[in-house]
């Protein structure tokens, strides 16, 4: 049975891919009408008499399919008093908060479950068909509009609804919309009752033909997830405003090209005498160019008439240019005057003057070839699903800036429009991506003629919405949806519509890096090997057999996805950055991704006594992933692949990125002991005046000298050699390390004053500079009476070749037979004595209570790859205080340790826990000279040092616990401490979706010899 009022759309309009909308207004820039310039400057919404938000609590019921919606629900007199209440905006999959269990239902009846898939559809795909069991949300609310809106035009705005939206007002059908990540607007002038209560009803169908084009690597939700508003315009109104801020060839003179479209309601006939004024001003209101006043064309002259469109071109000399480093913004005010000269309507938007070009194999911003330090980002929140607030988005972007990111790719759809406002303001480059992904049908749906209109509508509507944002520097045709003629057509439309930005699409070069020029202006591969992108930039092949496999690119190489951040990951990130710096055509990329997409899920009871009542919550909970809501088709924890945890806490890999993307670099010059250093401004558009610097000199990890470093005046990409303000010849003997730290000099839109932005560090070679271990730093003392090694060991030292598998070693819930994890188990590396492995230890007791271990390990040839080579022991309860001299303070691994500075650190064993959603190996520290664990009750100490730097971890969880657990709340914290002392440890890589670690970070067969010492006192 068709929905009432939509009979002409057919029995099942949600299965008609050629039907993309009914009654939906053309997409426009999201500008709200204001009655005067002051209101427009303030944002138009605040205090406007022509704007009414409809967000809040609505009545709601969930039907099992569109054919089961309650009869007559759209009528104002319908009794919905027995229905539930939900928040709008909100996802019904997150209301009330989801709970664990096979049916994932709440205690009060609840709604539908969230579902996570990566590639596969959540149901058997047969496009455009969807299951008959198709959850359908029915919404109702009421609102009033003032009587003085009578005679004006009234528009209803839905910011986003997943997957298909149907709307009724006062019992009459208004319209339908597909494309869940962009707004739908409907003219409801003929439906609204002025000064009286209006009944608004909406139906959202969860699955539709559009679902096949929204098969993105994220949670499937459902509901009205962005704001709903009703607003009013005069019968003659500003239909759309486009402002393009550019630069002339001198890169100093700003150009503004404005295109203003004036609309007339159907009941009003266009007439002569209407005028439009375009004014450019500072954000403080100071005019900086002449006001352009132009008559609105009104008569449809055959052939020559271009519409009721006003165009204006202005030039602004000596403009402050917009860049991600210097996000200078101005305001454009557009005023519509009626024939009498009275102001009819005003709109205002911010504009940035900048120039984006692809010149040969260089992506150029304002004349400078830049590097993208980017990340992929979805709209996401662990408690609300797809609903995000402006405060949350601002916090997201500030966090990214604080850790050195300068760009965002809106994977894989347009994000909330307020995000772009914030990127304009804070300074982040944006690759704006259309809501197109047909991953499960990657190579077929793109050629289905029934879906052509969906491809074109989604891409063109995104451009029309976001065209005014200076932060948007590339348009993306979508993601993982094959490659076909429709992509070429969409790219051609984008270039013709907006010549100020290049076009981006990975699918066009997926199978041939030399092709796809019609659909992408940049070479934007996913998860490439480092050697591959180096060859694309003209570098040599890593092996003669690969000569000619990849030809040098004639386009900029910008990686749309790389360094998959799943769990304990992002190994070899430094080598990617090395390549970016070495080869000019390599201009960075976008890490996958910003978030771990774990949803906060209430648990019926605390498992294993470890409820983790975090954030003061009484109800035990966990971060849930695919399968945790009882869904049968899912992709497990593959959604937990971000640089931050679901609650926005940064993972250790964030510090690695901050170091690699630091704005300034310092390196010793000549003999490091002379105290001269070369400072390089790594930025493209500003000097170093926004920074402060300090030099620290440490001996054996203890800071003995510290002084402010005068910040030199250095332009972008310039270098200078300076004398450091410390006398290195006067420091005590021992290992001497110089560290230069950079912090912000003042508070900005994204950081407080004093926020660290990077450091550089080097060891000063000098006679007698061998490091002294942390364990010896307090001086030797006689062994404690009654305290021996046997007293403190819960288990003796033994060989350790196993690590709890990280996600890159092999997914626990989708273990492939060729994964390292599977091979390690096959070789018996979990056991105390793996078959074929020879281990011999020779011990020497010292008169200071120490025992020195001389280790000899032979790994047979058939064990071609192993996770670690080291020793392991357990300490009795009580050894909680931890101190070490090595890299820290956060965890680091051989292929992810550049951001961890050498120093002396204090922690606790409890605080060494790193809460990856899927428990795995964590807590390692590299380049360690010595460590100490201390028992507070009696001061007993266990100290470990070695002739050569080693690695260690100290945790209250065993590798066996971490291997078996599937959620962090399943871990039971032991009173004992498990200590690993590693001679070698395998790198992390990113092989859960990307390359493995580089060969130099792998461990193979052969002989391993090393020495270490343990002392108890």
Which amino acids are annotated catalytic?
480, 561
Displacement of CA 869 from its chain's centroid (Å):
35
Displacement of CA 352 from its chain's centroid (Å):
24
Q: To 5 degrees, how large is the angle CA 696–CA 655–CA 814?
A: 150
Q: What whole-number distance in Å separates Cα of residue 119 and Cα of residue 278?
A: 47
CB-facing half-sphere around the CA of 595: CA atoms within 13 A: 27
Q: Which of 918, 910, 906 is nearest to 976 (CA)?
A: 910
Backbone angles phi, psi at 775, to 5 degrees: -65, -25
Is 532 within 8 Å of 575 (Cβ atoms)? Answer: no
Whether the upstream peptide bond of residue 96 has omega within 30° of 0, thus cis, is yes
Is 194 within 8 Å of 145 (Cβ atoms)? Answer: yes
Q: 3-state DSSP call for residue 813?
A: helix
Q: Within 365-523, where are the H helices?
A: 390-402, 417-426, 452-466, 485-497
Q: Which of 228, 226, 229 is nearest to 384 (CA)?
A: 226
| CB crowding 1-24: b at 16 or more within 10 Å, else e | eebbbbeebeebbbbbbebbbbbb
Is 104 within 8 Å of 629 (Cβ atoms)? Answer: yes
Residue 823 is inside which H or E element, if any?
A: helix 820-826
Give bridge partners of residue 954 from the DSSP assignment.
979
Dump strand ranges (E) for 303-441. 309-316, 330-337, 343-351, 356-359, 362-365, 368-369, 372-376, 407-409, 429-433, 437-438
Q: How far is CA 483 from CA 438, 449, 461, 509, 512, in A?
A: 11, 14, 20, 9, 11
Q: What whole-number distance in Å separates Cα of residue 951 and Cα of residue 782?
A: 27
Q: Which of 656, 462, 447, 598 is nearest to 966 (CA)?
A: 598
Q: What whole-number distance in Å separates Cα of residue 571 and Cα of residue 580?
A: 16
Q: What whole-number distance in Å separates Cα of residue 23 and Cα of residue 37?
A: 31
Give bridge partners of residue 275 from the DSSP assignment.
295, 337
CB-facing half-sphere around the CA of 129: CA atoms within 13 A: 6
Ordered strands of the 84-88 beta sheet = 21-22, 172-178, 164-169, 197-205, 136-144, 56-63, 84-88
Q: Are strands 925-935 and 941-955 parallel, antiparallel or unpaired?
A: antiparallel
Dump strand ranges (E) for 33-97. 51-53, 56-63, 84-88
Q: What whole-number distance in Å separates Cα of residue 171 and Cα of residue 153?
A: 19
* Cβ-based burial of 563 (10 A; exposed 0-12, middle 13-18, buried ≥19): buried
Backbone angles phi, psi at 330, to 5 degrees: -125, 175
Is 940 within 8 Å of 1017 (Cβ atoms)? Answer: yes
Q: 3-state DSSP call for residue 737?
A: strand
Q: What whole-number distance in Å separates Cα of residue 819 and Cα of residue 326?
A: 46
Q: Within 360-389, where are the H helices?
A: none
| CB crowding 147-174: b at 16 or more within 10 Å, else e | eebeebbbbbbbbbbbbbbbbbbbbebb
């Amino acid at each position: 049975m068709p929905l009432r009022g939509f009979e002409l759309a057919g029995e099942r309009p949600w299965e008609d891919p050629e039907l993309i909308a009914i009654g939906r207004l053309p997409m426009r820039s999201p500008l709200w009408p204001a009655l005067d310039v002051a209101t427009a400057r303030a944002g138009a919404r605040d205090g406007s008499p022509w704007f009414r938000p409809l967000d809040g609590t609505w009545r709601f019921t969930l039907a099992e399919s569109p054919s089961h919606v309650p009869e007559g629900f759209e009528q104002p007199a319908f009794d919905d008093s027995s229905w539930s209440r939900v928040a709008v905006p909100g996802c019904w999959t997150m209301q009330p908060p989801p709970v664990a269990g096979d049916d994932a239902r709440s205690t009060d009846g609840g709604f539908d479950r969230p579902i996570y898939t990566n590639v596969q559809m959540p149901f058997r795909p047969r496009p455009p068909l969807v299951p008959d069991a198709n959850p359908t949300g029915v919404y109702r609310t009421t609102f009033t509009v003032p009587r003085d809106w009578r005679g004006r035009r009234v528009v209803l705005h839905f910011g986003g609804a997943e997957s298909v939206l149907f709307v009724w007002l006062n019992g009459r059908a208004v319209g339908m919309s597909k494309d869940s990540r962009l707004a739908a607007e409907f003219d409801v002038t003929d439906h609204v009752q002025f000064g009286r209560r209006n009944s608004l009803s909406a139906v959202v169908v969860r699955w539709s033909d559009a679902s096949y084009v929204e098969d993105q690597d994220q949670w499937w939700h459902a509901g009205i997830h962005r704001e709903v508003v009703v607003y009013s315009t005069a019968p003659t109104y500003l239909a759309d405003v486009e402002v393009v801020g550019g630069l002339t060839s001198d890169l100093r003179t700003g150009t503004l090209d404005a295109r203003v479209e004036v609309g007339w309601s159907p009941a009003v006939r266009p007439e002569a005498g209407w005028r439009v004024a375009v004014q450019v001003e500072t954000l403080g209101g100071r005019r900086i160019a002449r006001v352009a006043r132009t008559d609105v064309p009104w008569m449809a002259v055959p052939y020559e008439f271009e519409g009721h469109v006003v165009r204006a071109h202005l030039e602004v000399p000596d403009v402050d240019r917009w860049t991600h480093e210097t996000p200078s913004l101005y305001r454009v005010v557009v005023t519509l005057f009626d024939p009498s000269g009275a102001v009819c309507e005003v709109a205002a938007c911010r504009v940035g003057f900048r120039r984006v070009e692809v010149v040969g194999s260089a992506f150029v911003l304002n004349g400078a070839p830049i590097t993208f330090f980017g990340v992929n980002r979805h709209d996401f929140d662990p408690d609300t699903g797809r609903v995000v607030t402006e405060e949350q988005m601002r916090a997201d972007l500030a966090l990214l800036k604080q850790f050195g990111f300068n760009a965002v790719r809106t994977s894989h759809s347009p994000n909330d429009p307020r995000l772009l406002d914030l990127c304009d303001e804070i300074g982040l480059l944006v690759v704006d991506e259309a809501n197109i992904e047909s991953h499960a049908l990657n190579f077929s749906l793109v050629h289905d003629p029934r879906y052509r209109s969906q491809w074109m509508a989604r891409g063109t509507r995104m451009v029309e919405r976001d065209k005014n944002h200076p932060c948007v520097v590339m348009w993306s045709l979508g993601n993982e949806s094959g490659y076909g003629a429709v992509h070429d057509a969409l790219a051609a439309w984008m270039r013709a519509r907006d010549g100020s930005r290049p076009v981006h699409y990975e699918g066009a070069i997926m199978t041939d890096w030399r092709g796809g020029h019609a659909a992408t202006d940049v070479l934007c591969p996913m998860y490439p090997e480092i050697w591959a992108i180096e060859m694309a930039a003209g570098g040599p092949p890593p092996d003669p057999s690969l000569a000619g496999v990849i030809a040098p690119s004639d386009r900029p190489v910008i990686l749309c996805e790389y360094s998959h951040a799943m769990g304990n990951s992002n190994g070899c990130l430094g080598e990617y950055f090395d390549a970016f710096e070495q080869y000019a055509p390599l201009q960075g990329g976008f890490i996958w991704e910003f978030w771990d997409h774990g949803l906060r899920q209430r648990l019926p009871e605390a498992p294993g006594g470890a409820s983790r009542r975090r954030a003061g919550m009484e109800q035990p909970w966990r971060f849930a992933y695919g399968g945790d809501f009882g869904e049968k088709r899912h992709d497990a924890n593959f959604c937990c692949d971000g640089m931050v945890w679901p609650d926005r806490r940064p993972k250790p890999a964030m510090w690695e990125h901050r170091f690699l993307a630091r704005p300034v670099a310092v390196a010793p010059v000549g003999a490091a002991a002379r105290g001269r250093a070369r400072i390089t401004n790594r930025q493209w558009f500003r000097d170093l005046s926004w920074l402060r610097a300090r030099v620290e000199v440490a001996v054996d990890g203890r800071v003995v000298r510290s002084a402010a470093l005068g910040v030199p005046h250095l332009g972008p990409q310039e270098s200078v050699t300076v004398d450091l303000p410390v006398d290195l010849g006067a420091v005590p003997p021992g290992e001497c390390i110089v560290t230069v730290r950079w912090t912000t000099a003042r508070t900005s839109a994204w950081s407080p004053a004093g926020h660290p932005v990077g450091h550089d560090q080097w060891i000063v070679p000098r006679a007698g500079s061998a490091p002294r271990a942390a364990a010896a730093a307090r001086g030797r003392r006689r062994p404690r009476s009654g305290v021996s090694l046997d007293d403190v060991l819960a288990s003796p030292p033994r060989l350790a070749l196993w690590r709890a598998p990280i996600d890159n070693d092999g997914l626990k819930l989708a273990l492939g037979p060729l994964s390292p994890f599977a091979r390690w188990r096959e070789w018996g590396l979990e056991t105390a004595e793996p078959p074929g492995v020879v281990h011999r230890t020779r011990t020497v007791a010292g008169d200071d209570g120490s025992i020195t271990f001389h280790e000899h390990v032979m790994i047979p040839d058939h064990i071609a790859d192993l996770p670690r080579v080291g020793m392991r022991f357990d300490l009795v309860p009580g050894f909680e205080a931890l101190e070490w001299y090595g890299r820290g303070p956060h965890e680091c691994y051989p292929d992810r340790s550049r951001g961890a500075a050498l120093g002396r650190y204090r922690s606790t064993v409890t605080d060494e826990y790193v809460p990856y959603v899927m428990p795995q190996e964590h807590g390692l520290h590299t380049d360690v000279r010595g460590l100490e664990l201390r028992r507070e009750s009696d001061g007993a100490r266990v100290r470990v040092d070695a002739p050569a730097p080693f690695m260690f971890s100290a945790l209250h969880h065993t590798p066996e616990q971490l291997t078996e657990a599937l959620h962090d709340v399943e871990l039971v914290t032991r009173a004992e401490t498990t200590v690993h002392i590693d001679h070698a440890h395998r790198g992390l890589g990113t092989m859960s979706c990307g390359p493995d670690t580089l060969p130099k970070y792998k461990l193979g067969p052969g002989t391993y010899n090393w020495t270490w010492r343990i002392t108890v006192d």
